[in-house]
Amino acid sequence: MTQATSSLQQMPHYVRVRSEPDAAFVEFDFAIGYPDLFVELVLPQAAFVSFCDHNQVLHMDAAMAAAVDADMRKWRYGESRDQDD
């Protein structure tokens, strides 16, 4: 195992579920180290559970998700905007 691989495994792994709880496929964001730098993925329910177990993920709470959304709005619009704008 290389040093880069080892350090990646030591970083926190984040998941933010975007789909409904009873959906056949789970749509989610997956990030390593930085919750605002993520990829969007889709997996069947059973594969998602296995993926989360294998990667020892931390599920984003509402506060973390709101912070990520605020940062995305800042980058898109050049300033922080409230969700109601």
Q: First CA to last CA across the chain, in angstroms?
A: 48
User: pLDDT-based confidence at 66, cuts 50/70/90?
Assistant: very high
Give the number of domains in the chain. Answer: 1
For residue 34, tell me if it sits in a domain: yes
Give the residue-averaged pLDDT of 44-53. 98
For residue 37, tell me if it sits in a domain: yes
| 54 CB-near residues (< 8 Å, 6+ apart) | none
For residue 31, tell me if it sits in a domain: yes
For residue 68, tell me if it sits in a domain: yes
For residue 15, tell me if it sits in a domain: yes
Q: Give me the numbers of helices (H) and strands (E) for the chain, helices first please.
A: 3, 4
In this structure, which amino acid lies at residue 35?
Answer: P
For residue 41, tell me if it sits in a domain: yes
For residue 83, tell me if it sits in a domain: no
- Whole domain around residue 39: which residue ranges? 10-77
For residue 17, tell me if it sits in a domain: yes
pLDDT, residue 81, reads 55
* Farthest CA pair distance, the chain: 48
Which residue has 């993520």 as its token pair?
A: 38
**What is the spatial distance between Cα 54 and Cα 4, in angstroms, rounded to a whole number?**
19
